[in-house]
Chains A and B, each alone.
Chain A
């Protein structure tokens, strides 16, 4: 099959898989939203796979995201996209340690929760009231997350293996949840904490949150892109491929991992704070929630771990799907089953995620085509790269 056909087939089957149940189950507005998201994602995919146009497409994506709330201004529509953008930031940030470096953290929800409690506590202690100023306080959530990440990273990365890292990060998450429950003087325990609310009304209420999430998403993706193209990022990816060999060619593996871990905590802390502000009330079990990590990993994985585009695409597809699913199925249980089955299908069929799989198929198809052409022309014009790549 030709590469373009492959991609089209992939996008269309994805579109059908997501869109059909939504248009059947949901209202027409939900269908429209799903459609817009899909068009965006597909557009993005097509263009960024051809790396040359990455900047242009990113620009189109951002403009579309800015225009979105002007077109769909219902509270429902902006809420869904608010979460999608928030998760673009969260998953892209997680991807720095989880994807680039290959150290899958299942405890990054700890930073989300730390950010959320930071804004709630700061607003409470300083007697702040709702308004645009609280978004500045949300930045403190990022600072807090980064500071806490320092000792956590030190401990979680003590042993040079991924499995102990995974487990220690989970343990930390539960530790914070317990602390939030138990430090009642500060956190109010299981009764949770309120965050002061702005006096924005009606459909406009969501708009500032939407743009805060968009800004955070853009900056985080920018940060991830910066790292991806830096020497430091190359070191991270070398660690992912073969950590000891990386050390053998001069990469200071411990410092690389530690830095990646701490950096990846910061945007998630800010996201947690924005979420807390948006939802007006936080509980230990909703902000220190292991499901957040699962969603991050699934988003990054769906799109393709370790790629820039993967977490973006994954979040833009998964978040609306998840939001609408819980909205329309209602029954707790089926959403978990669907979530799990989707996950299993992707992992077993495309173990490196959707984007890398599609890219790889396209590359192979292109290589085969090159070989065919070269064969037609002359024998010695066959590039070795083509011959080699064809087998891989």
Chain B
């Protein structure tokens, strides 16, 4: 029983980390109407970046975020500018292909650079753990959860307390109408994508500190993140957070009470059941017919 409780705690903590990774995906879907398949790879780029800083220059991963977040912000800015902005018709379909291609290029380059050995990010708070009802939880999970809450809170404030946020939410509601009332949708889109990618740097660091990874982890990661945003309801930030918690708690609990082999499968089953009963996801709006 205590073990189950411990795994619930662990699930909630790592759920926060996943929310940080998934929120970028759901934000860019909401604002840009694109599905960013490269999100999984961007997480890994963030992770490798933190890994390299720590491994070669002994920069603490948390301090390193001061470098990696702006760096990924710029990468996101570049991707949007070069590959997403030119897409006109069939945006959803083409964005999937373009970002998949971007992910492949990055996967190839990272594989060439770092090889395909699994690596992990180390720091004292990664390697030391605290005892929660017999389950040793590394400090990084607690730290990561706190960081996730702080960053998600910051995004929330940005969305609901600033002019930029108001313009962004208007764009989510109706892209065409936003243009009509004088919102610079192009600028909003680019900044949103860049911010989403910047956040992913933090998600990547935390992922890399809590998992061993290599460039091939990309597909596993993106499939999990996609499932999260579809369970939560596409475009919904709160949905992404709740779905992350559901996913990680179910995964961790199933690992403990049954077997780790079936842990991810449990989440798949939950998602499929939700898709049957409520196809728009937990917090999504059903699509209206276009008239």
Interface size class of A (residues with CB under 8 A): 35 or more
Contact string, B61-99, partner A, CB cutoff 8 A, digits 1/0?
000000000000000000000010011111011101110
Q: Are A294 and B100 in contact (CB under 8 A)?
A: yes
Q: Are the C-beta atoms of B111 and A332 separated by less than 8 Å?
A: yes
CB neighbours of A163 from chain B (8 A): 29, 35, 92, 234
Known: A158-B279, A163-B92, A175-B265. A344 touches B101 (CB 8 A): yes
A356 to chain B, nearest CB (A): 12
Task: Please tell me if A192 contacts chain B, counting CB pairs below 8 Å.
Answer: no
Question: Of B92, B104, B261, B280, which contacts A182 at CB under 8 A?
Answer: B261
Q: Are A344 and B105 in contact (CB under 8 A)?
A: yes
A166 an interface residue at 8 Å Cβ cutoff? yes
B226 within 8 Å of A by Cβ?
Answer: yes
A351 located at the interface, meaning its Cβ lies under 8 Å from any Cβ of chain B in the complex:
yes
Interface check A219, CB cutoff 8 A: no
Which residues 262-285 of B have a CB within 8 angstroms of A?
A: 262, 264-265, 268, 271-272, 275-276, 279-281
A336 is contacted by which of B35, B108, B219 (Cβ under 8 Å)?
Answer: B108
Q: Within the complex, what minimum Cβ distance (angstroms) separates B26 from chain A?
A: 11
B83:A344 contact, CB within 8 angstroms: yes
Q: Which residues of A have CB within 8 Å of B83?
A: 344, 348
Within 8 A of A (CB), among B232-291: 234, 261-262, 264-265, 268, 271-272, 275-276, 279-281, 286-287, 289-291
Q: Which of B83, B101, B219 has the most CB of A within 10 A?
A: B101
Of residues 144 to 181 in B, which have CB atoms within 8 Å of A's CB atoms?
Answer: none
Task: State the CA gap A347–B101 with chains docked (Å).
Answer: 10
Question: Is A339 located at the chain interface by the 8 A CB criterion?
Answer: yes
Are A294's CB and B280's CB within 8 A?
no
In the complex, A236 has a CB within 8 A of chain B: no
Determine whether A337 belongs to the interface, using a CB cutoff of 8 Å to chain B.
yes
Establish whether residues A344 and B35, one from each chain, have CB atoms under 8 Å apart when the complex forms: no
Beta-carbon contacts under 8 Å, A90-137 to B: 102, 104, 106
**B35 and A158 form a contact (CB under 8 A):** no
Query: Is A64's CB within 8 Å of the partner chain B?
Result: no
Instruction: Tell me whether B93 and A102 are in contact (CB under 8 A).
Output: yes
Chain B contacts of A170 at CB under 8 A? 222-223, 226
Query: Interface range on chain B: under 10, 10 to 19, 20 to 34, or 35 or more?
Result: 35 or more
Contact of A168 among B86, B109, B111, B275 (CB under 8 A): B275
A residues 337-362 touching B (CB-CB < 8 Å): 337-341, 343-344, 347-348, 351
In the bound complex, do residue A343 and residue B101 qualify as a contact, i.e. CB atoms below 8 Å apart?
yes
A390 smallest CB distance to B (angstroms) = 20
Residues of A within 8 A of B286 (CB): 159
Q: Which residues of chain A have C-beta atoms less than 8 A from B226's C-beta?
A: 167, 170-171
The reply on B230 being an interface residue by CB < 8 A is yes
Distance (Å) between the CB of B182 and the closest chain A CB?
28
Residues of chain B with a CB closer than 8 A to A148's CB: none
| A301 CB contacts on chain B under 8 angstroms | 97
* Complex interface: chain B residues within 8 A of A242 (CB): 290
Q: Which of B86, B88, B111, B264 contacts A333 (CB 8 A)?
A: B111
Write the B95-137 contact mask toward A (1 if CB under 8 angstroms, else 0): 0111011111101110110001000000000000000000000
Question: Which of the residues A168, A171, A178, A337 comes within 8 Å of B108, measured between beta carbons?
Answer: A337
Please tell me which one of the listed residues B223, B265, B287 contacts residue A161 in the complex, with CB atoms under 8 A apart: B287
In the complex, the answer to whether A347 meets B98 with C-beta atoms within 8 Å is yes
| Interface SS of chain A | helix
Which residues of B are found within 8 Å of A247, using beta-carbon distances? 289
B contact residues around A155 at 8 Å (CB): 272, 275-276
Give CA–CA (A268, B97) in the complex, Å.
Answer: 21
**Pair A158/B96 contact, Cβ less than 8 Å:** no
**Within the assembled complex, what's the spacing in Å between the Cα atoms of A166 and B93?**
9
Measured CB to CB, the closest approach of chain A to B87, in angstroms, equals 7
Q: Is A160 at the interface (CB under 8 A from chain B)?
A: yes
Residue B19 lies at the interface, judged by CB distance under 8 Å to chain A = no
B142 an interface residue at 8 Å Cβ cutoff? no
Is B227 interfacial (CB-CB < 8 Å)? Answer: yes
A381, CB-defined interface residue at 8 Å: no
Shortest Cβ gap from B260 to chain A (Å): 10
Nearest-neighbour CB distance to chain A for B40, whole angstroms, equals: 11
CA distance A270 to B111 in the complex (A): 33
Task: State whether B108 touches A340 (Cβ < 8 A).
Answer: yes
Q: Which of A146-168 contact B (CB under 8 A)?
A: 155, 158-164, 166-168
Whether B276 lies near A178 (C-beta < 8 A) is: no
Identify which of B105, B112, B234, B268 contacts A171 (C-beta below 8 A).
Answer: B268
The reply to whether A104 and B105 contact each other, CB–CB distance below 8 Å, is: no
CB–CB B109/A333 < 8 A: yes
Contact at A178–B268, with CB atoms within 8 Å?
Answer: yes
A–B Cβ pairs within 8 angstroms, 7 of them: A162-B93, A167-B227, A171-B227, A174-B223, A333-B112, A335-B108, A348-B86
Q: 10 more A-B contacts (CB under 8 A) besides A104-B97, A244-B289, A290-B223?
A: A163-B92, A167-B229, A171-B223, A171-B227, A171-B272, A175-B272, A339-B104, A340-B101, A340-B102, A347-B101
- Across the A-B interface, give the 10 residue pairs with the lowest CB-CB distance, nearest first: A336-B108, A340-B104, A340-B105, A337-B108, A343-B101, A333-B112, A158-B279, A159-B279, A333-B111, A340-B101
